[in-house]
Amino acid sequence: MAFNPDLIRKDFPILQQTVHGKPLVYLDNAATSQKPRVVIDRIERYYTRENSNINRGVHYLSEEATREYERTREVAQKFLNARTAEEIVFVRGTTEAFNLVAQCFGRKHIHTGDEILISAMEHHANIVPWQMLREQTGAVLKVAPITDRGELILDEWEKNITPRTKLVSITHVSNVLGTINPVKKLIQIAHDHGVPVMIDAAQSVPHMQVDVQDLNCDLLAFSGHKVFGPTGIGVLFGKEAILQDMPPYQGGGDMIASVTFEKTTYKAAPFKFEAGTPHVAGVIAMATALEYVSQLGWAAIHQQEQDLLDYTTARLQEIPGVTILGTAPEKASVISFIMNDVHAHDIGTILDSEGIAVRVGHHCAMPLMNRLGVPATARVSFAFYNTRADVDRFIAALHKVEEVFR
Amino acid sequence: MSDLSELYQQMILDHNRKPRNFGKMEGADRSAEGYNPLCGDHFHVYLKMDHDRITAVMFDGAGCAISKASASIMTDVVKGKTRDEVHALFDRVHAMLTGDHSEGPETLGKLAVFSGVSEFPTRVKCATLAWHTLKAALAQQIEAVSTE
């Protein structure tokens, strides 16, 4: 079946509304994606027919909820092509996954003087947890530089790895620049030095097939809400040996095998990382989201988004004073730009008045903003439900920005 | 859209393009730094004082049109005022920016140009950043203030 964005848009109720009297154009997908009707319905069905606590009831509802919750682990396993469902840990999102790894892997394996290698294009979620670990252990945070085009310097990548490097943690796709990093190669080089690698896949899983066995990453995280699922739920993938080796994250109910006041024993991974009653509705609806996006087909999604990326990149040239930040040849459908003498915040307000949602600011990547030498950028980011008509509205609104500030 | 032209009035655009009292003041008695981490607006306000009275005021830094024009017009209107007068004026400006038009914006002179900001809640912090920075300078606070 041919891919028809106009038909697919009907799956997304939120896209049908008007904002400030104009049809909504949603170009802030890198911040969060919209939810198809099937995901919204799945949440409603859970709360109307299945709501119960998991892993502890003998009654019908609890068994149903537990089965659906664990089924999601298998859906996520297939989505990432993990080897087993036990390699899937449910977390609140990518941010929690990094905090979990920093505390559980980091405090066990990363000591004073040991190095964690990240890059200059990381989101705060892949910076601050390591800084907190640094304060706790005296570890060293090393930052691989990037070029002005927004690419890692591949020839020098290996030099960043030293005998003290204990972990490489790097983004697959930059949330600001759109750059797709050649992570498979970076992982292989790190492995040549015996260093495990964690991948921030928050911005890649909405756009492309991510195969953890093909990449051979050791740890990887993504957020459900960026891939058309609910907020407050995400996935940490970890190779089985790494997960089993890590101590638990938070203590409490559900993560224990037995408890006495003298001694507690823990469940095996992934369950030892899931203390307390989890976000059951979110987990179950995330399965629906992952199945929804998978059945659309990655080739069709890529074709649609690549067209939007190319078309927008070309049409931005017609606006006087626009500069695109991030011009790597391999990009996802994310475009950051600045406009001469017009602050990003003013661009955002004027676009909003036209019903167009974009992100403006530092995008939770303040060190990258410093590297680029700008206080803020405006950013458009596309999903498969965006169309060239959306881009035309966006470009027309930018002409209006230019008129106001001329 | 009428709201938008209320926000970006000609006087605001003019002060954004050609900010008054813009630059680093040599020999300032007091100064303070203001920062809005949400959008990256970042200003310094410099003062010369005669006891409680502002005899000279300048600012520098970078930010959106609303924050820059607000800083520029603020420096125009607070020169010659005492600390208490500035505080009383800011209270009235803040009321206007947050949608309390009971007083009638026209009583605020050229500051009334910012009355449209109240229709844009996310931009109120832009318009108040320079004022908070000025108040920090008057209080001789040394640390950067933030509108977050």
Half-sphere exposure of A344 (CA within 13 A, CB side): 25
A342 and B38 in contact by Cβ < 8 A?
Answer: no
For a pLDDT cut of 70, what percent of chain A falls above it? 100
To the nearest whole number, what is the mean pLDDT of chain A? 96
Of A345, A353, A405, the CB nearest to B13: A405
Q: Does A297 touch chain B (CB under 8 A)?
A: no
Per-residue pLDDT tens over the stretch B7-55: 999 999 999 999 999 999 999 999 999 998 877 889 999 999 999 999 9
Assess whether A364 carries a catalytic annotation. yes
Q: Quick check: helix, strand or coil at residue A120?
A: coil
Q: What pLDDT was estimated at residue B3?
A: 76
> Quick check: pTM over 0.90?
yes
Q: Are A343 and B4 within 8 A, CB to CB?
A: no
Residue B141 reports pLDDT greater than 70: no
Q: If pLDDT is split at 50, 70 and 90, which confidence band does B104 have? A: confident
Chain B residues with CB inside 8 Å of A353's CB? Answer: 1, 3-4
Per DSSP, the residues of A195-241 read --EEEE-TTTTTTS---HHHHT-SEEEEEGGGGTS-TT-EEEEE-HH
State the average pLDDT over residues B80-101: 93
CA dihedral (A243, A247, A249, A253) in degrees, to 10, reads: 100
Residues facing residue A265 across a β-bridge: A258
pLDDT value at residue B5? 84
pLDDT of residue B36: 87
Query: How far is residue B60's CA from residue B41's CA, in Å, rounded to a whole number?
Result: 11
Is pLDDT above 80 for A27?
A: yes
ipTM attached to this prediction:
0.87
Closest Cβ–Cβ partner in A349, A361, A362 for B123: A349
Q: What is the helix (H) or strand (E) element at residue A23, kind and residue range?
A: strand A22-23
Contact check, Cβ <8 Å, A346/B63? no
Q: Give per-residue pLDDT as tens, A226-276.
A: 999 999 999 999 999 999 999 999 999 889 999 999 999 999 999 999 999
- pLDDT average, residue stretch A142-169: 96
Q: How many Å apart are CA A252 and CA B103, to the nearest integer?
A: 56
Q: What is the mean pLDDT of residues A193-211?
A: 98
Round to whole Å and give the CA distance between A88 and B119. Answer: 46
- Do residues A227 and A98 touch, judged by C-beta distance below 8 A? no
Q: What is the pLDDT of residue B38?
A: 77
Nearest to A38 by CA among A332, A295, A261: A295
Closest by CA to A350, choosing from A378, A322, A370, A372, is: A378
Write down the pLDDT at residue B144: 60
Residue, of A13 and B147, whose pLDDT is higher: A13
In this prediction, residues A76-90 reach a mean pLDDT of 98
Mean pLDDT, residues A56-84 taken together: 94
How far apart, in whole angstroms, are the C-alpha atoms of residue B25 and residue B42?
A: 16
Minimal Cα–Cα distance from B38 to chain A, Å? 6
- Residue B39 and residue A345: Cβ atoms within 8 Å? yes
Contacts of B8 in chain A (CB under 8 A): 346, 350, 404
Taking alpha carbons only, the member of B110, B128, B148 closest to residue B45 is B128
Using pLDDT thresholds of 50, 70 and 90, give the confidence band for residue A214: very high
Q: For chain B, what is the mean pLDDT? A: 90
Q: What share of chain A is helix, strand, coil (3-state, %, to 5)?
A: 45, 20, 35
Q: How many C-beta atoms lie closer than 10 Å to residue A50's C-beta?
A: 19
